[in-house]
Amino acid sequence: MAFIHPSSLLPSSNPSYSFREGIKSSAPGIQEHRFSPYADNGGSTLGIAGKDFTIIAGDTRQSSGYSINTRYAPKVFRIGGDDDSGTGAKIILAVTGFAADGNALKERLDSMVKMYKYQHGKDISVKACAQRLATILYSKRFFPYYTQAILGGIDEEGVGALYSYDYVGSYEREQCRAVGAAASLIMPFLDNQVNLKNQYVPGSGVGHDLKAKAAEPLEQSHVEQLVRDAFSGAVERHIEVGDGLQMLIATKDGIREIYTPLKRD
């Protein structure tokens, strides 16, 4: 129902010569509700690449505003599996932001990877899949998928690979990345613990003489614990993060999943 503003019915001192110049239905002061095709469903994801593994994790809460839609809605997906359970998949995709767009993006990438296998008779490489995801995102440059994606797997050299994206497809390969509602809480933690930012060799000097600790590849069990710590920290400080933690670990043997409960408050 369009609301008619009383002032539009009164003789006006303003000249009104054409339809284009006429008073629009939404007069100032009246805010007409307009459909927005986007929503923010909260949640956070993170990815860390190791020397022969990649871990991508996300919480399982899905929310709308202050309401929790559900305590279990996965944000981390297997891409290119043989069937809907994802067996045989080698690539992991995680999406935060608008859940419906995230699902659409996942399914588009998944069917694209399946077609690649059908047409070429082999699995797509993580590098090629990462490039393809970028073109998918960019193809909707002017009506974007409202999702921040991270993609991971094992590259052609057997090394853990991780790619992170913005909404419209710019992407880069990284060692680690936190994305989503609690990204600003988790990312500094990862900078410090994975890339050893602001960590110095004790007794190596004073002031500018301090030697920075060099980042080295981390053990898988150590990374798993880092992920758990990152999320239990985020849960305390962010209302949109919680309920459960889903971790997908890609190695040369395929993808393994670990689920651990998080605080539900």
Partner 1 sequence: MNHFPHGWGRPRDDIYGPYDHTYLSHSQSSGPNQHTQQPAVTGTSVLAAKFKDGVVIAADNLASYGSLARFTDVKRLHKFGEHAILGIGGDVSDMQYISRILNELDIDENYGSTGNTLNAKNLHTYLSKVMYARRTKINPLWNAILVAGLDGVGRPFLSSVDLLGTTFSSPTLATGYGSYLAQPLLRKLAETEDEVANVTREKAEKAVREALKVLFYRDARSLDRFSIAVVTKQGIELMEDEQLEGQSWAFADRIKGYGTQVN
Partner 2 sequence: MFRNNYDNDSVTFSPQGRIFQVEYAQEALKQGSVVVGIVSKTHAVLAAVKRNAEDLSSYQKKIVGIDTHLGVAIAGLSSDGRVLLNFMKQQSLSSRLTYGRAIPIERIVSLIGDRAQTNTQHYGKRPYGVGLLVCGVDESGPHLFEFTPSGMTQEMLACAIGGRSQMARTYLERHLDVFAGCSREELIKHALQALKESLSQDKDLTVENTSIGIVGWGGPDGAKGQPFKLFDGSEVAPLLAASGEGETAQDEMDVDT
Per CB under 8 A, residues contacting partner 1 are 1-5, 8-12, 14-20, 22-25, 32-35, 37-39, 41, 62, 64, 67, 69-73, 98-100, 103-104, 143, 264
Q: How far is the CB of 50 from partner 1 (least distance, A)?
A: 32
Of 101 and 224, the one with the shorter C-beta distance to partner 1 is 101
* 164 neighbors 112 (Cβ within 8 angstroms): no
Tokens for 226?
Answer: 């880092």
What are φ and ψ of residue 135, in 5° steps? -70, -35
Q: Which does 82 bind (CB under 5 to 8 A by kind): partner 1, partner 2, none?
A: partner 2
Which C-beta is closer to partner 2: that of 21 or that of 257?
257
Does 66 interact with partner 2 (rule: CB under 8 A)?
no
Contact set for partner 2, span 107-136 (CB under 8 A): 107, 111, 114-115, 118
Smallest distance, Å, CB 222 to partner 1?
30
Is 10 or 206 the residue whose CB approaches partner 1 more closely?
10
Strand partners, 1: none
In the complex, least distance from residue 169 CB atom to partner 2, rounded to whole angstroms: 22
DSSP character string of 159-183:
-EEEEEE-TTS-EEE-SEEEEETTH
What are the helix and strand counts (H, E) for the chain?
Answer: 4, 12
Nearest to 41 by CA among 105, 119, 95, 116: 95
263 interacts with, out of partner 1, partner 2, none, CB within 5 to 8 A per kind: none
Burial 64-82 (b: 16+ CB within 10 A, else e): eeeebeebebbbbbbbbbe
In terms of Cβ atoms closer than 10 Å to its own Cβ (0-12, 13-18, 19+), residue 103 is middle
String of contacts with partner 2 for each residue 5-44, x by CB under 8 A: ----------------------------------------
- Select 5 or 117, whichever has its Cβ closest to partner 1: 5
C-alpha 45/C-alpha 139 separation (Å) is 24
Does residue 60 contact residue 248 with C-beta atoms inside 8 Å? no
Quick one: 110 or 243, whose CB is closer to partner 2?
110
CB of 45: closest distance to partner 1 in angstroms? 17
Residue with smaller CB distance to partner 1, 46 or 99: 99
- Least distance to partner 1 from the beta carbon of 66, Å? 9
Tokens of 209: 């003489």
Binding site for partner 2 (CB under 8 A): 82-84, 107, 111, 114-115, 118
